[in-house]
Amino acid sequence: MSISFGLVIVGDEILSGKRADKHMPKVIELLGARGLQLAYADYVGDDPARITAVLARAFAAARNSGDVVFSCGGIGATPDDHTRQCAAAALDVELALHPEAERLIRERMQDIAKEQGVPYEPDRHDNIHRLNMGMFPVGAAIIPNPYNKIPGFRVQAGAGAVHFVPGFPVMAWPMVEAVLDTHYAHLHQKSAWTEKSVIVMGSMEAALTPLMLAIEAGHSGVKVFSLPSVDHPDYGRHIELGVKGAPEAVNAAFPALLAGLHAFNAKLGPELVR
């Protein structure tokens, strides 16, 4: 079974351009620090049918391939927050108030009342409404929120799982990091992945494709990547050509790549290691 990491980002504000997505670069960073990589990402607006379809695919990937998926946004209790309901619909289960989530939300409301110097009124309409943030698909487990105690939730699906966190980065990112370190430490590969590349100037990708195919064919476990640029301030039109994979495989493949480029009489710039 090949486990992949996926990401779902929910919100009209991202697709309309009102907010710039910061989640994907951060999740890539958090995974990379643990020797892991993001395999795919979905962006979806606040449309329940589309969210349900995206989450159904995420649950299927978790169930069938053991994928680990993070979903950011839409788990609040305002009219444009649909993620909790859509997760339940995708699983064909009911929503129910999670007991631990209820405890944490009530604790948060008491904290707010104390901060404001007013009595805590558990039956006040707005406080009752806040409990909706603890309505999760039946069978879900909570994800603690160190920022304000309002939890997210995770749903195990086969060997994989889908994890739901808020859209606010200050909450979401520590929660994602905690999930990675609590539930997936056994997958961390801090020294098992590296990249080596070189700047190639004046060549076209089509001309280099046979070399790229030959390197992948001759070095098992290595992926060749090509990142063209047309207006770099230092190198102008160029290609960053490299290999990535396990360090021992990359260390064998990269000299072969360089040798192949020299055979093309390619003009080479700096070499890069990540």
Q: Quick one: fold of 194-273?
A: Alpha-Beta Plaits (3.30.70)
Is the dihedral angle over the CA atoms 52, 53, 55, 60 positive or is it negative?
A: positive
Q: Quick one: fold of 5-187?
A: Molybdenum Cofactor Biosythetic Enzyme; Chain A (3.40.980)
At 266 the pLDDT is: 86
pLDDT digits (tens, 9 = 90+) for 175-230: 999 999 999 999 998 666 789 999 999 888 999 999 999 999 999 989 999 999 98
pLDDT digits (tens, 9 = 90+) for 24-81: 999 999 998 898 999 999 999 999 999 999 999 999 999 999 999 999 999 999 999 9
- Alpha carbons 233 and 228: distance in angstroms, whole number: 14
**Domain edges within the chain:** 5-187, 194-273
